[in-house]
Amino acid sequence: MNSSPLLRPAICAAASPNRTLQVPTLQSRRKSTISSPMAGHDLKPTAPTIGGFLAKKPYEPPSWASHLNPIPSHTFSLAHLPTPIHKWNLPNLPEDTEVWIKRDDLSGMQLSGNKVRKLEFLMADAVANGADCIITVGGIQSNHCRATAVAARYLNLDCYLILRTSKVLVDRDPGLVGNLLVERLVGAHVELISKEEYAKIGSVTLADLLKKRLLSEGRKPYVIPVGGSNSLGTWGYIEAIREIEQQIQTGSGEIRFDDIVVACGSGGTIAGLSLGSRLSNLKAKVHAFAVCDDPGYFYNFVQGLIDGLDAGIDSHDIVNIQDAKGLGYAMNTSEELKFVKDIADATGVVLDPVYSGKAAYGMLKDMSANPAKWRGRKVLFIHTGGLLGLYDKVDQMASMVGKWCRMEIDESIQRRDGTGKMF
């Protein structure tokens, strides 16, 4: 097989006649399904909606963000909002410290997580620009890529995913674990790249190579960057700050958050949260736990995103970024995975191992090491989703869960009929 990046065939039904797993590419649907609902690029949804889901909406920014530029004109309603906020009874908190949690993991099912907020703006822009397909890039278990694939199919757009994997797996069928299952069920075209090729070439060039190839085939691709993190995507979490403000106002009105804690993987979420918190009346201090790269990189990247909105603010003044990558992106120690298991067991909240798991782990470590810093504060933790990523860790976590046994039944026990033969 040719090892040149992006010359490998996409994972599709025609790849090999003797494959046991075949996923249709839906190529025959490209022209007919895209031209009808998107004719004239008028942002019409794929079908009439009830309740607003998948509908186009004119966008009006919060008054405190109306000076930013450019302001998006429309969004697509893709997320189930507002996501709930509730108190999170974590163990071993500093004295008088309260932690609350905003459940962006409940923003949908296939579209769950923080990425859908960005996609509401990005997909509207793609359709407005006449796109018939979407390109994006991520890791082999990318939550963003899964959400993008689903959003694209909802809007009758094809989706091309450039997924980063190890060099020993790059020429193999990637399988159906976790996010890959959803991506392939909705017909995404998967193109694999090795981590070494990715590091050498970079996501921007890789996406551009694929874009040029699709343009040569007569397609109209729209590129969404890694994590949906550009200045347009940043509006997703500017808007989330407005949502948090409204939730506080419609509640008792007595809660005022001192801090917001969130994982950082591509930068767009923390850019929107920190800028929105500073401009709004929320004024909570944003703490970001970086699960890849380093704080210096993210300060610079966030600066570029907010400069792209003419915000006139220094990123160092609005967010505190800490290193939480541990062994590396999407890599976990047994201690981190045990933490995810223990938090689920203690509170019922299931964290993902790549993002929110590492952020919560880092937050509680910092609270333990610096209790005075957190004492008496009300903290809002943003759960950014990623549950499907846990399926990639089952082998590492199998020994941690336990609590099963063969039920003992005495032979003398008599049957008592219930409803139906099975009951």
Phi and psi angles of residue 116, each rounded to the nearest 5 degrees, phi first: -65, -30
Handedness of CA 117, 121, 127, 133 (dihedral sign): negative
Q: Which of 139, 93, 98, 91 shows the shortest CA–CA distance to 339?
A: 91
Annotated catalytic residue within 107, 142, 231, 356 = 142
Paired residues of 101 in beta bridges: 86, 381
How far is Cα 311 from Cα 314, in angstroms, rounded to an integer? 9
User: Distance of CA 121 to CAs 102, 142, 228, 243, Å?
Assistant: 21, 19, 10, 16
Which DSSP string do the residues of 292-357 spell out, in sequence order?
SS-HHHHHHHHHHHHHTTT----GGGTEEEEE--TTSTT---HHHHHHHHHHHHHHSPPPPTTTHH
412 as an active site residue: the answer is no
DSSP state of 403: -
CB 268 within 8 A of CB 227: yes
Please check whether residue 61 is in contact with residue 310, taking contact to mean a CB–CB distance below 8 angstroms.
no
| Cα 76 to Cα 44: distance, rounded to the nearest angstrom | 9
CA 9: distance to chain centroid?
27
CA 321, CA 293: separation in Å to the nearest integer? Answer: 11
Which burial class, exposed, middle or buried, applies to 43 when counting CB atoms under 10 A from its CB (0-12, 13-18, 19+)? buried
Q: Which residue has the tokens 């919060």?
A: 62
Query: CB of 154 within 8 A of CB of 46?
Result: yes
Those residues whose C-beta lies under 8 Å from the C-beta of residue 321, and which sit 6 or more positions away, are 264, 270, 288, 289, 290, 295, 298, 299
Q: Which residues are catalytic, by number?
A: 142
